[in-house]
Amino acid sequence: MQGSTKHVVVKRKVSVIGIGAGNPDYVTVQAINALNQVSVFFIPNKGTGKAGLAKLRREICGRFIRGHDYRMVDFDTPSRARTTPDYSQCVDAWRDEVEQVYERLLVEELDDDEEGAFLVWGDPSFYDGTLRILDNIRSRGNIELEYDVVPGISSVQALAARHKVALNRIGESIMITTGRRLAEGFPDNVGSVTVMLDAQNAFKSVDGEMDIHWGAYVGTEDEILVAGKLREVCGEIERLRAAAREKHGWIMDSYILTRPEDPEEV
């Protein structure tokens, strides 16, 4: 009698740790405690242009982990196609590839008695796909996956702090969006918008009378900050972005756009 093949499910535990927006001083006490519980750190390689991101992850581990043995596993991350006209389809295909890489790492590079970790730039719940990736892996049923999430200081928080401004005005909502969405038009029902992931300088398409608070590499030694009327500083920001990208091979920036307040409403 031929027996049926039993499907073996492996058990894995990982932490998703927010490490802040680039300054090691942004790493929280909770994150430091979590770092010191981890056996294996998965370090993404996003190409030579972004080697500094992997270097910072290593520096954070070296600075905050004490008396605890651990190892690091480097892995290459798939590149997202930029020429496909269907943006959503392109992103979905790219995420499928990334999920396959992550699932392989969890199965092949982590033992049953080890805890792994992904060190997420900024905050894991904020414009990062790691949590979604892990949920999708768990839903496939090949891994009995347990994971914890440690929040971090996002670039938006750091930007507002460095410019000494609030993200909202009294009685108004906070809106955080992307450059792609901003290019479709500034929302009518808000006084200010925080914009991330703007590779095309979408701020050039909005009312120049708005105030802008812009920052790149916030909190790091390469930090650049510009603030003022958009019509007056738009060109400077565009020039600084291009020069910084050329110098470092990558750029992480964000900005806050604020409508002029109506004197009758003040």
* Domains of the chain: total: 2
The CA distance from 245 to 237, in Å, is 12
Predicted local distance difference test score (pLDDT) of residue 1: 43
Whether residue 140 is found in the same domain as residue 206? no
Q: Are residues 145 and 165 in the same domain?
A: no
| Residues sharing a CB contact under 8 Å with residue 73, sequence separation 6 or more, in sequence order | 40, 41, 42, 43, 105, 109
Q: Are residues 196 and 105 in the same domain?
A: no
**What is the pLDDT, as a whole number, of residue 90?**
76
CATH of the domain at 247: 3.30.950.10
| Contact assessment for residue 11 and residue 137, using Cβ atoms and an 8 Å cutoff | no
What is the pLDDT at residue 263? Answer: 46
Residues 192 and 223 occupy one common structural domain: yes
- pTM score, whole prediction: 0.86
134, 164: one domain: no
Q: Do residues 83 and 105 both lie within one domain? A: yes
Distance (Å, rounded) from C-alpha 161 to C-alpha 243? 24
Domain CATH for 99: 3.40.1010.10
Q: Please tell me the distance from the alpha carbon of residue 186 to that of residue 171, in angstroms, as a whole number.
A: 19
Domain boundary among 127, 153, 179: 153
Cα angle: 111, vertex 115, 117; to 5 degrees = 120
Of 153, 184, 204, the position where a domain reaches its end is 153
Measured between its terminal Cα atoms, the distance across the chain in Å is 83
> pLDDT tens, position by position, for the chain (266 residues)?
455 555 667 999 999 999 999 899 999 999 999 999 999 999 998 666 567 788 889 999 999 999 889 999 999 888 766 566 666 777 778 788 999 999 999 999 999 999 999 999 999 998 888 999 999 999 999 999 999 999 999 999 999 999 999 998 888 888 999 999 999 999 888 889 999 989 899 999 999 899 999 999 998 889 999 999 999 999 999 999 999 999 988 898 999 999 987 544 44
Return the pLDDT at 70: 95
